[in-house]
Amino acid sequence: MARWTADAMADQAGRLALVTGANTGIGYEAALQLARKGAQVLLGCRDEQRAKQAIERIQAEAPRGSVEWLPLDLADLASVAAAAAQLRAAHQQLDLLICNAGVMVPPAGRTVDGFELQFGINHLGHFALVLRVLPLLQAATAARVVAVSSGAALFGRMVFDDLNFERRGYQPWAAYGQSKLANLLFIEALARRLKRAGSSVVACAAHPGVTATELQRHSPNMQNMPAWLAMPAPQGALPSLRAATDPAVEPLDYFGPDGLLQMRGYPKRVPWPSGAKQQAIADQLWEQSLRSCDLADPLVMATP
């Protein structure tokens, strides 16, 4: 089978895409490729200067697309609410949401709302964003939500009585694995609820394998990975882009690299991790996330 590259992407003219964390790394590359295909792209970033620098670079390389900054700090649920409100005020629909932004093994920290940093940014911020813009996604003809997870989801474990690592003490990699498993459990729960609601929104996921980006800035050993192991960001963005644009994508599809141990290569469908298939755990995470984000359930009638 031919390798899937960005050249395989269909024209995206007339589509509105929001990519979180799009000022750097695979988020930037995804935004660039969508703009090249003619999409209107919103960069969901917290730093205005870095967002504007990214916009200038994208506009220089992709004059077909339209690129704008959407102020968004996923570590602050009030910022997430404000970004969603701004989006709803400016647009009638949203065709694509790539939940890409994240942090990996930072020093111990808390979000503005007091959650462990990785769980708060990687999961809760995106959870709140998706639910707040769900009406815009449902207004589109064939909208997609793509969660960017990680191979670390394989060792993730949801500890519901200690999601913020208060009892256990902070363990950077355990917290990262938990947050990346949460990404997939969220998509599992969301896809079921969308199906029961008769929605055309497709919820799916991707992971970038081993890709050299700023994400590894808190892990010096990973920052110094050789080029034969760590893919460059443009290649690492391909699983997200395929999940976002391949016409054949179905709910709960998961894309990752086709090489050894899914570490590098070109995007293909990969198995959904067994830990992310547990509906009871996905439902428990959904309910706890609603409480944490102080949100009403927009799909409450669709739950079992």
CA distance 148 to 160: 22
**Residue 251 contacts by C-beta under 8 Å, 6 or more apart in sequence?**
191, 194, 195, 202, 203, 204
Instruction: Decide: 251 and 202 in contact? Cβ < 8 Å.
Output: yes
279-293 and 172-196 helices cross at what angle (nearest 10)? Answer: 100
Instruction: Decide: 299 and 145 in contact? Cβ < 8 Å.
Output: no
DSSP 3: P
CA distance 151 to 245: 22
User: Which backbone phi and psi does 202 adopt, to 5 degrees?
Assistant: -100, 125
Q: Which stretches does DSSP call E strand in the chain?
A: 16-20, 40-45, 66-71, 96-99, 144-148, 202-206, 254-257, 267-269
Instruction: Decide: 41 and 15 in contact? Cβ < 8 Å.
Output: no
Q: Which stretches does DSSP call E strand in 174-237?
A: 202-206
CA distance 17 to 94: 7
Asked if 28 is an active-site residue, the reply is: no
Which has the closest alpha carbon to 251: 292, 203, 196?
Answer: 203
* Residue of 28, 170, 176, 254 with catalytic role: 176
**Residue 238 contacts by C-beta under 8 Å, 6 or more apart in sequence?**
4, 5, 6, 266, 267
Positions marked catalytic: 176
